Each structure stands twice: as structure tokens, then as C-alpha cells.
Structure 1
Amino acid sequence: MQGILSIQSHVTYGHAGNSCAVFPMQRMGHEVWAINTVQFSNHTQHPQGWTGQAHDARQISEIFEGLAKLKALSQIKGIVTGYLGGPSHCDVIVDIVQEVRRHNPECLYFCDPVMGAPDKGCIVSEGVAELLVNKVMPIADVIVPNQFELSQFIGEPIETLEQASQACLKAMAKGPKLVLAKHLHSVSQDAFTMMLSSENENYLAQRPHLAFERQPVGVGDLITSVFAAGYLNGLSEVEAFKHCNNAVYGVLKVTQEKGEWELQTIAAQQEFTSPTGQFDLTHL
């Protein structure tokens, strides 16, 4: 039985981190084995606050060791990581990726390098961003950064489409084989813009902005998981990118229609297999 190992945050109420990523990957046909880096009552943008705590890195290691005892490591076809609760989590991720690859060299690692956005209420512990840049992102097969995280990885600002394209190439020179820049906010004010960059070509995906009273949380987690699930299903990187753009838009559309700001992944679950919106890609 093959599966995807998903290591990221968890919220009991709503959808962010593993609470956002696991179900879409399951709905797309994958077994998903989740390890939570933190457990919160809800995501951190709720004005009422939240409760919970980050898990100790040793807890993550112990759960992984349990999988190893089941001889499951050779069955892990993909690893997806997101929010990490502290620097020690970064070290554990590196160890886990290396150990899984020892048992299954074909395993693909998808890294969503969450570095924090204080303006959105997302905070990461001191030292996490540096370790993501220097140790974690370079060993990933696929990285899924936003514009800020991509800029941090290459150490240069990004303000134009050309700079974004060059940034992806510079990022791949550091190790990753694919870059999915999941939100290039400087490229267009009129559309939500993503870029997929491989060694030979770049594609741009754009979809309409949707108005929310409060911006939904977990969209980046959703993008990473849907792309990973599609790619691991055998879609080409371009097909998986297009499917991801369409499916995520569909989920956001349902969320907006219901007047919610927690992503409606359950109500919109058909979007993961049959997206209702279709947006063409631009080959750069």
C-alpha cells in the first residue's frame, strides 16, 4: 500500500495545514499518512485567538520510527511538508527525507517553505526561515514558495514577471527540479498569478481574484497538496499545474458563495476530481 507522508500543522476547527491538505489528496485517490508539527484549536487569524502548541521534534521522530517498524518507508511515494513549528523540526524533516529516500529512491519531496507572514497572523519561530533556505529547500524535488519565500531562497527581490522567471531558474540551480511559485502578487493586480518552472520551460497560471470579507487561510497548503496529488497520480507537471489552478479556484468559489472564510474543502470536494472552472495556461 503506497501513500503520501504529509508533515505540517493541524487545526481541529477549520481547514489549514494537514486539516486542509489530507482530504484533497485522499479525494484524489491517495493514501495519506499525516504527522502534525503543531496542533491548534483553529488557525491563528481568528480574532478569538487559538489554543494548542507545537509538538516536540522528538514526537515527530517517534511517529516516523513507528512507520519504519511497519516497513512502510519503501511505500512512501511522496512527502509533503508545510508549516514547521521550530528549527528542530527542520532538522527532523531533513533526516526523514533522507531515510525515506534510502528505502525508496523514487520518492518525491514537495516542500511548501512556510516562512511566516506577520501581516496575516502567520508567525514562524526564529531560525526556521534560515534552515528552510539553507537545509530543507535544497533537498526538495519540488518547492512551492510564494513570492516572498522564493525571494528569500535566492536572496534577491522579485517585482516583475522576468525577475520571477529568473528567480525560478536560480532556485533550481540550488537543488529543486521544479518550482511552483504559488502567489506572485507583484506580477498582476487583476489576477491571482502562479508560475511553474522546470529546467526547460515556464508556464503561467492566472485566475480571477475573489472578494472575501476576510481572506481564507490555507490556500497555499491546498495548492501544494492538490499539485502533489495530481503529479503523483501520473499527470505531467503541466497537467498537474493546470488542474491545481482550476481546482483551487473552484474551492474558493464555493467558499465565497457560502459566505465563509474557512476553506470549504468538503462542500467543494468534487473540484478535486472534476474542476468546474477551466483556465488556460500561458507558455512563457
Structure 2
Amino acid sequence: MRILSIQSSVSYGHVGNSAAVFPLQRIGVEVMPVHTVCFSNHTGYGAWRGPLMSGDEVREIVLGIEERGGLAGVDAVLSGYQGGDSIGDAILDAVDRVKHHSPDAIYACDPVLGNARSGCHVAPEVQRLIRDRVVPRADLITPNQFELGFLTGTAPDTLETTLDAVDRARELGPQTVLVTSVERPDRPAGTVEMLAVTPAGAWLARTPHLPFKVNGSGDVTAALFTAHVRRTGDAADALARTTASVFALLERTLAGGGRELELVAAQEAYAHPELRFAVERVR
């Protein structure tokens, strides 16, 4: 399997490609990373150094890959945070180029917009870019519950309203939706859920809610789910494996007490996940 991953990169810590590439490689995926920024660290620290890439620079890198024949045999294009129209256009251009050479490739988009606690934290132009131009071109999206509501103009909270919102999202274009950080009022206390929906059905996985927030876990989730579902076509199995891997990564990180993901220390959880969380069919 080969994935073209167009995301941010940091030298210290793990977000974007710096979070997604190694877990993918550990499960046997050949990854071609294209960086949209090259920062010292993620912006959550309040200060960072390093350059932003322009859309033209991203295009040049993808063009160079194409000239080597590297866009043939690609299984998926993966994208995360998009900082503006320039990068968004370059990613959509890359999707077109990949699908020209690899017609069966999918575009998997993590529509990074914000979360329920802090609201939208991207500029209005990025909100419009993601909602109006990027999501309709995607085959698979991995929003959290807040982002799903933003994309569909709804306020999902129960399982039923979340499923309804997913149906609206799928009407926009993507046929596979993974909803992360599902927090419905009737779930068991101290838990959090993920919901995977495809034309074949809908499945829910539940884990304990760990009492901390760490950057990059969503990037790992999107990468692993994309690879698993693309490899097998089985959303329930992809959900089970992704849930197990990411929970083990977060457990390891919490135990370590640091601010950054224990990405390398948890590597066996990607290659050999302990499938300890049941996946329930809900539709």
C-alpha cells in the first residue's frame, strides 16, 4: 500500500506528518510525505520557528514525485490541517493528479476546524474552503463531532442526531465518515466513542475517556483508519484496529507524563493492536 500524505511537519513532537508517517510505516504502508509547514514544534506552545510552504511549493514537490512515476499505484491521498486557499488548491490538484495515474485511489481528509470546547479555531476562509470545496471532493472524512456539526449545519449530540448528521455529510460527497470524540449524553459515564459509517452500515466503538488532551492523536487516528479501511474495505475491522492502537498510544503517553505523544514507544500497538474494545453495529 502507498499513501501520499500532505500535512504539516514538526521536528519536536508529533503532529501532522510527524504523527501520521511512522504508524503508517509500522503497519507496512509506503508513505510519501509532503510537508505544508516545517516548524520546530506545534503551535500549541505559543511560539515556534520555521517556514510555511506555499501552495506552489507543494505543487512542485508533487510534480517531482509525478515525474518519477511515483503517483502510479497510490492507494490514498491523506490531508490534515489546511492553512488557506493556496494549500487547499494544491492538495486538490494533487488529488486530481493521483487519481489520473491511480483511478482507484481515495482522498481521505481530516477536516480540521476546531472542537466542542474551544469552537472553531481556523480563519473564516479556511472554514469555507473545507466545507464548500474540500469535503465534497473527499471519499473519506474524519471529523470530530463538533466538526461534523459545522460541516452539516447541525448540532449532533445523541446517536440518532449524529447518524443524521453523517447522512448529510455523505450527501456532500464522501461515502465513508469516521466521527471521532463522540460524546452523547446517554453514553456510559467516563467514556468516549468513535463512529464509522459507510454505505454498508454504521459501527460504534467505546473506550474509557482518558483525562488529558494531547496534540496529534487525531492525525494518528485519521492515518490508521484510512490505511486499514483502504486495505480491507471492512469499516468495522478498521474501527476496531484504530481504536485499539490509538487508545494504547494515549495510555502510554499519559503514563509517561509528557506533553508529546509517545509515538515510538507505542509502536507495537500499531503493528499488533490488542482488540480489546467491542465494535457494535448501530445501523
Pair 1:193 & 2:201 matched: no
The equivalences for 1:196-207 within 5 A come to: 196-207=196-207
Letter of the 2:60 counterpart: E
1:124 is aligned, of 116, 122, 125, to 122
Specify which of 175, 181, 184 is matched with residue 183 of structure 1: 181
Aligned-residue RMSD, C-alpha: 1.9
Distance in 1 (CA, whole Å) between partners of 2:145 and 2:194 is 9
**Residue ranges of structure 2 left out of the alignment (5+ in a row):** none
SS at match of 1:183: strand
Equivalent pairs counted in the alignment come to 280
1:114 aligned residue: 112
CA distance in 2, matches of 1:120, 1:275: 32
Shift of 1:117: 5.0
Q: Which runs of 5+ in 1 are unaligned?
A: none
Aligned AA for 2:22?
A: F
Q: Secondary structure at the match of 2:43?
A: coil
Identity of aligned residues (%): 37
Structure 2 distance, partners of 1:184, 1:223, is 14
**Corresponding residue SS for 1:38:** strand
Q: Is the 8 A contact 2:245 2:269 kept in 1?
A: yes
Verify: 1:12 aligned to 2:7, yes or no.
Answer: no
The answer for the alignment partner of 2:152 in structure 1 is: 154
Q: Which amino acid aligns with 1:152?
A: F
Question: Which residue matches 1:27?
Answer: 26
Distance 2:176 2:138 in 1: 9
Structure 1 equivalent of residue 60 of structure 2? 62
Moved more, 225-234 or 202-211: 225-234
Decide whether the 8 Å contact of 1:54 with 1:85 is kept in 2.
Answer: no
- Secondary structure of the structure 2 residue equivalent to 1:79: strand
> Given the alignment, which residue of 200, 223, 226 partners 2:224?
226
Q: Does the alignment pair 1:276 with 2:274?
A: yes
- Residue 235 (structure 1) shift: 5.6
Letter in structure 1 aligned against 2:228: G
Output the TM-score relative to the length of structure 2. 0.93
Deviation, structure 1 residue 26 = 0.4
d(CA) in 2 for partners of 1:200 and 1:277? Answer: 22
Please tell me whether the aligned partners of residues 84 and 129 of structure 2 are also in contact (alpha carbons under 8 angstroms): no
> Are the counterparts in 2 of residues 44 and 122 from structure 1 also a CA contact under 8 Å?
no
SS at structure 2 position matched to 1:127: helix
Aligned residue number for residue 214 of structure 2: 216
User: What letter corresponds to residue 193 of structure 1 in structure 2?
Assistant: E
Structure 1 residue 120 displacement after superposition: 6.2
Q: Please, what TM-score do these two structures have when normalized by structure 1?
A: 0.93
1:63 maps to a residue whose letter is: I
Letter in 2 for 1:136: V
**Mapping for residues 13-92 of structure 1, pairs under 5 Å:** 13-46=12-45, 49-92=47-90
SS at match of 2:8: strand
